[in-house]
Structure 1
Amino acid sequence: MDMNGTWKLVSADNVSMICDVLGIKDEFKKKAVAMMSPEGGVTQSIDVTGDNVSIVYNIPGKTIECKTKLGQPADMPFFDGRILTCEFSIDGDKLVEKQSGAFDSVNIREMKGKQLIITMTSKDVTTTRVYEKV
């Protein structure tokens, strides 16, 4: 996939609103908003090879990894310690991740030019995160 590689967050919108919808407690919300700024240093490494999917999130002070196969659910810790079940699929040139458990959301990863765009939707709130290749 064109999106394989390591990506650095360069912008994010609606972070505070999505935190509220995801039920992030106040003590973690401030950290989440700071993390999702370009200065936060958040990266994610993506490797989709055949049916194998590996996403490694590097956030300040923590690395979170989800390795699975397309269509097979896998548990993954959220940055605040809650456990999510993630399931990946391919839709055309998009990598779709459905998350359930602590909250329900859908992350759609797609390439637009040389940027990786991730839209995360939970309930009626969407946040768009833009990443550039490292």
Structure 2
Amino acid sequence: MVQFTGKFTRVSAENYDEFLKALNVGFILRKAATASTPVMEITESDGNWSMKTSTSMKSMELKFKLGEPFEEETSDGRKCTTTVTMEGNKLITDQKAIKKGEKDVRAVREFFDDKLIISMTCDGVTSTQVYKRD
């Protein structure tokens, strides 16, 4: 079984600006997001998971139990009901926007021995990011 926990640093991002546009993220926030080099740290203890993503500008932490919906305020300001599930070597995050007119996002984190590949989809636009395991 592949290791889910650990520290990962983003090394590439495809279609990220287009994905952020689909989410209605403004120009300045998009530029900051695409220029940053996030570090993601994933931990788990007794079924309690934490995904902390840090950049030089800010840090965000998600705390969850697999399969249990929770309320989240995303980095772009949406309030969502979010559920994280595990399928094989993947953690799948489904964000359902609470406010009418806001967007839903599905993020699939696929884990390998040396890296993590995240595919995020909103309104049919997908961004793929590669993080190397530190």
| 1:39-74 Cα distance to aligned partner (Å, 9 max, x none) | x23111112445322111102221101101111122
| 1:63-96 Cα distance to aligned partner (Å, 9 max, x none) | 1011011111223332233333321001122111
Q: Which amino acid aligns with 2:59?
A: T
2:78 matched to which residue of 1? 82
Root-mean-square deviation over aligned CA pairs: 1.8
1:4 matched to which residue of 2? 5
Map 1:62-101 → 2, pairs under 5 A? 62-101=58-97
Question: Where do 4+ consecutive residues of structure 1 move more than 6 Å?
Answer: none
Contact 1:65–1:76, Cα closer than 8 Å, also in 2: no
Map 1:110-125 → 2, pairs under 5 A? 110-125=110-125
1:29 matched to which residue of 2? 30
TM-score by length of 2: 0.85
TM-score by length of 1: 0.85
Cα shift at 1:114: 1.3
Contact 1:64–1:76, Cα closer than 8 Å, also in 2: no
